[in-house]
Amino acid sequence: MNSRLTVCRLTAFFAVFVCIGAAMAGQQTDKTAKRLALAKARLHNLLVAQPADPAPWREVLDDFLALASSPLADRALFLAGRTAEYQAERSPEMRAKAALLYQRLADRLPDSRLADDALFRLAELTLRHGDRRAAARLFTKLVVLFPDGDMAPHARRLLEQLRRTAQTEKRPFPPKQKVAVTDIRHGSTAYYSRVVIETAGPVRYTGDSLPPRGDRPQRLYLDLTPARLPPRLAGATPIGDGVLARVRAAQHDRDTVRVVLDVERLSDYAINTLQDPDRIVIDVWGKRPAAASKGERCATPPSLAEQLGHTGARRIIIDPGHGGRDPGAINRYGVQEKDITLRLAKRLAAYLERQQGYEVHLTRTCDTYIPLEERTAIANRLRGDIFVSLHVNAAASPRLAGIETYYLSLAETDDEKRAAAAENAAAEGTLSDIEAILRDLMLNSKITESARLATIVQRHLVHTLAERYPAVQDLGVKKAPFIVLIGAKMPAVLAEIGFLSNPVEARRLTDDQYLQAVATAIAQGVTAYAGTTAEQLGLAPPRRQRPPGAGG
């Protein structure tokens, strides 16, 4: 009896206490809201009056900052940022202040609905003051972290604009000694041709297309300067693939090497530079007959309702590398990485779904271009449990062969840097830009889990393939800053399933049996990984689990 009474009293005591607490908190919030409204009104008055005196602006800024630890911190920080930003043109100090406040809001209150707005304001502020690279990093971060936020479409649009500007613009280069051209080569497929100019170091270039004149065809030309052309590379090399007729190279004057591409049919072209080794890559797209494009339309991504429909199964996101205007690696026979990765992805998806009962999504299901950061965004949006990006290697030496699996981190060896540079080529910016984004987002990445997933997938790949194919080389688990893995909120790996530049592996990569073996190996690796995670986390194995081989 007594004890029950005590419980009652205690309950009553706590109820009163909770009520008082709630009332106090309510009053507090009320008071905060009033102070915020007051500061907003003052800001409004300033915007109308536009006083030149910085003092009243600072006062309003301080009013907002006084609420930076309140329950309305996100709104206070955002409005403080806005106040400082209004003064950014007049005062570098206020500009820095605005940037700092937006950064703080985005970093410390990532769940606030204003976090993406803050990041967007920060990116735009950065862009307005001329740092396009830093702005591109911030827009990328926004797209990856807040793929469904209302600012994401604007960030995507601005990123695309920045990318286009960077591609068409000549990059400033310090004058240097003449750089030797070391190789000029080409590869092609139907409607597509790539010419690569390899140089002994970075070299400045200008390029343009010239319309057909008289009996001279349409041409693309590149002037490299200061550069020199060894005699063995001078002259014309016929191509005749339906896109390009030939490529010609000559020492145009003392300091300039001119490379001319005589065009047969051209619809578009792009010029990019890559490092390790330094090279200029000219991608040329021909005209595709209108009838051929029929039936190639891409399936639309699943609706949110569809996505939310399957919550029981564990979700795997498969990313077939490259696509559309980004072919990835190409070998001398015109085999393109983007085609191999898509074929493999479809096999892997089928195996994971039918044999192992996973829910699987592909970042692309046809030959379409998807920016690298968008792929991670898709995985985050779909709340994938595991992200696997599929790629094919290429190297300058045809002897290099083997299989390697990467997870996201800073590159340490030259090989790791080379792989990252090649796979990141479709994005704007240099490796150091990407490393900067990575440092920024490192805390959000599941690096330990990704390393474990990479280890298990690599082990399965090597064992399964070595049983069926001679001389399968294990290049091991590696780490590198791949943009496609940055910002993924789930364990994420990138598998390089062979070298297109190696004759033996190139043959395998175009063989469906090999791709099926690779798909099986990766699927089993994923299952092995998911099994141990499930045990560790005390979670059930995937729904609809069936023994291997029982599927239809």
Q: Which is nearer to Zn ion, 117 or 423 (CB)?
A: 423
CB under 5 A: which stretch of 52-60, 69-77, 138-146, 313-321 binds Zn ion? 313-321
Strand partners, 406: 478, 494
Q: Token pair for residue 129?
A: 């003051």
- Residue 337 Cβ, how far from Zn ion at the closest point, in Å? 5
Q: Token pair for residue 465?
A: 């393939």
Phi-psi region of 445 (alpha: psi -120 to 50; beta: other; left: phi over 0): beta
Q: Token pair for residue 395?
A: 């190297």
379 near 484, Cβ under 8 Å?
no
408 near 486, Cβ under 8 Å?
yes
- Residue 498 Cβ, how far from Zn ion at the closest point, in Å? 12
Question: Of 380, 383, 379, 364, which is closest to residue 320 (Cα–Cα)?
Answer: 364
Q: Which is nearer to Zn ion, 271 or 422 (CB)?
A: 422
- The rounded distance, in Å, linking the Cα atoms of 64 and 34 is 12
- Verify binding: residue 321, Zn ion, rule CB under 5 A: yes
CB under 5 A: which stretch of 75-83, 310-318, 344-352, 419-427 binds Zn ion? 419-427
Amino acid at 468: R
- Residue 322 Cβ, how far from Zn ion at the closest point, in Å? 6
Q: How many CB atoms lie within 10 A of CB 441?
A: 19
- Verify binding: residue 418, Zn ion, rule CB under 5 A: no
Q: How many CB atoms lie within 10 A of CB 474?
A: 16
Q: Following DSSP, what letter does each residue of 96-151 receive, concatenated?
A: HHHHHHHHHHHHH-TTSTTHHHHHHHHHHHHHHTT-HHHHHHHHHHHHHH-TTSTT
- Residue 530 Cβ, how far from Zn ion at the closest point, in Å? 25
Judged on CB neighbours under 10 Å (0-12, 13-18, 19+), 133 is middle
State the number of binding residues for Zn ion (CB under 5 A): 4
- Residue 321 Cβ, how far from Zn ion at the closest point, in Å? 4
CB under 5 A: which stretch of 318-326, 399-407, 476-484, 530-538 binds Zn ion? 318-326
CB under 5 A: which stretch of 261-269, 278-286, 317-325, 362-370 binds Zn ion? 317-325
CB under 5 A: which stretch of 46-54, 118-126, 291-299, 325-333 binds Zn ion? 325-333
Report CA Rg, the chain: 28
Give the up-direction half-sphere exposure of residue 233: CA atoms within 13 A in the CB hemisphere.
20
Q: Which is nearer to Zn ion, 117 or 337 (CB)?
A: 337
- Residue 343 Cβ, how far from Zn ion at the closest point, in Å? 14
- Verify binding: residue 391, Zn ion, rule CB under 5 A: yes
Residue labelled with tokens 């889990």: 449
Q: Token pair for residue 285?
A: 């797209």
- Residue 468 Cβ, how far from Zn ion at the closest point, in Å? 24
Q: Which is nearer to Zn ion, 328 or 384 (CB)?
A: 328
CB under 5 A: which stretch of 217-225, 268-276, 316-324, 346-354 binds Zn ion? 316-324
Q: Where are the alpha helices (DSSP H) in 265-336?
A: 304-309
- Residue 326 Cβ, how far from Zn ion at the closest point, in Å? 9
Q: How many CB atoms lie within 10 A of CB 494?
A: 27
CB under 5 A: which stretch of 189-197, 418-426, 470-478, 529-537 binds Zn ion? 418-426
- Residue 238 Cβ, how far from Zn ion at the closest point, in Å? 29
CB under 5 A: which stretch of 191-199, 310-318, 417-425, 455-463 binds Zn ion? 417-425
Q: Which is nearer to Zn ion, 419 or 521 (CB)?
A: 419
Q: Which is nearer to Zn ion, 217 or 327 (CB)?
A: 327
- Candidate residues 328, 481, 498, 542; the one interacting with Zn ion per rule CB under 5 A: 328
Q: Which is nearer to Zn ion, 257 or 329 (CB)?
A: 329
- Residue 423 Cβ, how far from Zn ion at the closest point, in Å? 5
Q: Which is nearer to Zn ion, 156 or 391 (CB)?
A: 391
Q: Where in 421-440 is the site for Zn ion (CB under 5 A)? A: 423
- Residue 485 Cβ, how far from Zn ion at the closest point, in Å? 12
Q: Which is nearer to Zn ion, 315 or 391 (CB)?
A: 391
Q: Which is nearer to Zn ion, 349 or 484 (CB)?
A: 484
Judged on CB neighbours under 10 Å (0-12, 13-18, 19+), 313 is middle
Say which residues have a Cβ less than 8 Å from residue 328's Cβ, sequence separation at least 6: 321, 322, 336, 337, 338, 341, 391, 392, 423
CB closest to Zn ion, residue no: 391
Q: How many CB atoms lie within 10 A of CB 486?
A: 24
Question: Of 457, 459, 463, 465, which is closest to residue 511 (Cα–Cα)?
Answer: 465
119 near 138, Cβ under 8 Å?
yes
Interacting residues with Zn ion (CB under 5 A): 321, 328, 391, 423
